Structure 1
Amino acid sequence: MTQTVDDLRNEIRRAVGRYEREESTAFTKEALAAICDAVTYEIDTNRLPPKSQMRAGILWKIGVLDEDTSDKTERPFRKEELESIAVALQNED
C-alpha cells in the first residue's frame, strides 16, 4: 500500500520522538529541529533557524541536495523528499 504524505510525516514524527498529528499539517519548527538532530545537521537550538534552512540542511545531510542552501526549500517537503527522509531515519536505527 502506498503511503500518503500525511502517513509519511507521521512516520517521520514517530522516528524522531514527536507526536503524530491527526490533521494534515507541515512540520513545525520544533519537529524540523528534531529531524535535524536525527540526521546530525547542527542548528542553534536556542534560536531556531528558518524552516527553509532546516529543510535544506536535512535534505543535504541525507544526500538529496548537494548543498544546504535554503533557496530550494521555501516550500514544505514534497512526497519524494519525505520518502527519502523516512528511509534515512530507518537506516539510523
Structure 2
Amino acid sequence: MTKTVDELRNEIRVEVGRHERLVSSGFTKEALAAICDSLDADVETDDIPGKDVMRRAISETVDGVDESRDQSTGFRKSELEAIAGELDGR
C-alpha cells in the first residue's frame, strides 16, 4: 500500500532529525531548513529564510520536484516521494 502525504512528511521529518507530527501539517520553517541542510541545498540556513526560498532550493536539488511550481504552497505527494527517496539514498 502506498504511503499517505502525512506518512511521507513524517518519514522526511524523522530522516532529517525532526519529530513526527500526530496531526496533519505542512513543514515548519525549521523542518524545511533541516531538509535543506540534509540535502546540501544551496541556501543559507543559519538565519532561516522564508519557506518559499527553502522550497525553491529543495526543488533545484531534488530530481522529481518541479522547479517551476508555485513555491508558496506545500509539496505534492509525488514530490514528497522524490524528497524521501533522495534523503533515503544519502
TM (normalized to structure 2)? 0.89
1:72 aligns with 2:67: no
TM value normalised by structure 1: 0.87
Inter-CA distance 32–3: structure 2 relative to 1 (3 Å threshold)? same
Change (3 A) 1:71 1:9: closer
Q: 1:42: which partner in 2?
A: 42
Distance in 2 (CA, whole Å) between partners of 1:71 and 1:36 is: 17
Is there any run of 5+ residues in structure 1 with no aligned partner, and where?
none
Give aligned-pair identity as a percent.
51
1-structure distance, mates of 2:48, 2:64: 22
Q: Counterpart of 1:61?
A: 61
Q: What is the aligned partner in structure 2 of residue 29 from structure 1?
A: 29
Contact 1:9 1:82 in 2 (8 A): yes
- Give the SS at the match of 1:72: coil
d(CA) in 2 for partners of 1:66, 1:81: 8
| Inter-partner Cα distance in structure 1 for 2:12 and 2:65 | 19
CA contact (8 A) 1:56 1:65 kept: no
- Residue 42 of structure 1, CA deviation: 3.5
Corresponding letter in the other structure for 2:13? R
Unmatched segments (≥5 aa) in structure 2: none
Q: How many residues align?
A: 90
Q: In structure 1, what residue type is equivalent to 2:88? A: Q
